[in-house]
């Protein structure tokens, strides 16, 4: 018999899963019809798939629970994410992946319908997604004037482009950040400086913060799933490794928030959170056990 440990934020006490679980938690899990999964730190770490990920996804299928992949990481296009998942043994469709590049494209089209020329502080893969959507990426020239500036998680960042972004931001152009993450999870011995930290640098240089920061915890990706799947908020579980993005988005959307400790957040941080998740578990394998217990009883 496997023994799993997790913490239930309603009771604020740990419990052990044997042949039973807290009745309130059981009722909440019985309502889940869709699981929205963060990616890095939740289903894989960097380029390494967690060994329990594919069994977890297969278990969801057996229970009739659909799933999708959500990520604040805009450094890859949707096509690149599909290819990465395929190489890891996960078959997914374009409709099952939501990232902040897609959210940013949708926002610009809705808010600035005339905007076509963008200064994109992002990777070539991200830029290709914008170009596929009909936008033009402006060059690092004071004469190549954009309609707006987009700052993202740019692993190809070079100093002249950072300076050019700061210049256009200082000129009062619309300024959009793809996501608020300070760092990106990695299993390498380094710190991957993410969009939120890049924006802090730009803020210090220009005195401006982004006009809007998209991605988690903004609830729009979950609201899109609700509309697509015709679900109520309590029928969606948002699963991720960060309280300030994944769990806050779940709370903003009224969804069931599940924190996994396989990525950035430690148990100590989770226990001291002012707005704790609905459920904290070691990893998605434990969540799978809980869902199976709830739906098959």
The CATH number given to whatever domain includes residue 256 is: 3.40.50.1000
Task: Please name the residue that has the structure tokens 């278990």.
Answer: 59
pLDDT score at 18: 35
Find out whether 66 and 229 touch, Cβ atoms under 8 Å: yes
- Is a pLDDT exceeding 50 seen at residue 15? no
The 8 Å CB, 24+ separation contacts for 195-202 are 195/72, 195/74, 195/151, 195/152, 195/153, 195/154, 198/121, 198/151, 198/153, 198/154, 198/157, 198/162, 199/151, 201/162, 202/151, 202/162, 202/165, 202/166, 202/169
- Is a pLDDT exceeding 70 seen at residue 5? no
In a shared domain, residues 190 and 209: yes
Domain assignment present for 38 = yes
> Per-residue pLDDT averaged across 23-32, rounded?
94
Domain assignment present for 78 = no
Domain hosting 245: range is 4-70+216-296
In a shared domain, residues 227 and 153: no
In a shared domain, residues 53 and 123: no
Find out whether 55 and 78 touch, Cβ atoms under 8 Å: no
Domain assignment present for 90 = no
In a shared domain, residues 119 and 179: yes
Query: Which of 18-22, 115-119, 143-147 bottoms out in mean pLDDT, i.e. has the lowest?
Result: 18-22
In a shared domain, residues 232 and 287: yes
Residues 94-135 pLDDT 10s: 889 988 998 899 899 989 999 999 999 999 999 999 999 999
Domain assignment present for 171 = yes
In a shared domain, residues 144 and 60: no
In a shared domain, residues 160 and 238: no
Q: What whole-number distance in Å separates Cα of residue 201 and Cα of residue 203?
A: 5
Domain assignment present for 93 = no
Domain assignment present for 262 = yes
In a shared domain, residues 50 and 105: no
User: How many domains does the chain contain in total?
Assistant: 2
């Amino acid at each position: 018999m496997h023994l799993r440990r997790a913490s239930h934020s309603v009771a604020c006490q740990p419990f052990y899963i044997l042949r039973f679980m807290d009745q309130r938690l059981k009722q909440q899990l019985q309502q889940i019809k869709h699981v929205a999964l963060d990616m890095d730190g939740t289903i894989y770490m960097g380029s390494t798939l967690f060994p329990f990920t594919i069994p977890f996804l297969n278990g969801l299928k057996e229970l009739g629970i659909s799933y999708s992949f959500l990520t604040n990481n805009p450094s890859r296009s949707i096509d690149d994410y599909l290819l990465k998942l395929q190489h890891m043994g996960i078959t997914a469709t374009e409709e099952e992946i939501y990232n902040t590049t897609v959210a940013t494209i949708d926002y610009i089209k809705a808010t600035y319908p005339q905007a076509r020329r963008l200064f994109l502080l992002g990777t070539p893969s991200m830029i290709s997604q914008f170009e596929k959507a009909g936008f033009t990426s402006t060059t690092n020239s004071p004469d190549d004037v954009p309609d707006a500036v987009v700052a993202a998680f740019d692993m190809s960042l070079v100093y002249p482009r950072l300076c050019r972004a700061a210049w256009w931001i200082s000129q009062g152009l619309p300024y959009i950040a793809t996501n608020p993450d300070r760092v990106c999870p990695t299993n390498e011995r380094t710190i991957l400086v993410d969009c939120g930290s890049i924006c802090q640098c730009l803020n210090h240089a220009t005195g401006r913060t982004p006009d809007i920061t998209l991605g988690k915890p903004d609830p729009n990706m979950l609201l899109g799933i609700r509309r697509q799947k015709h679900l109520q908020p309590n029928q969606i579980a948002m699963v991720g490794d960060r309280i300030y993005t994944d769990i806050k988005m779940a709370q903003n959307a009224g969804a069931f928030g599940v924190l996994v400790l396989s990525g950035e957040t430690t148990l100590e941080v989770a226990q001291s959170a002012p707005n704790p998740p609905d459920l904290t578990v070691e990893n998605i394998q434990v969540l799978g056990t809980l869902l199976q217990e709830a739906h098959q009883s």
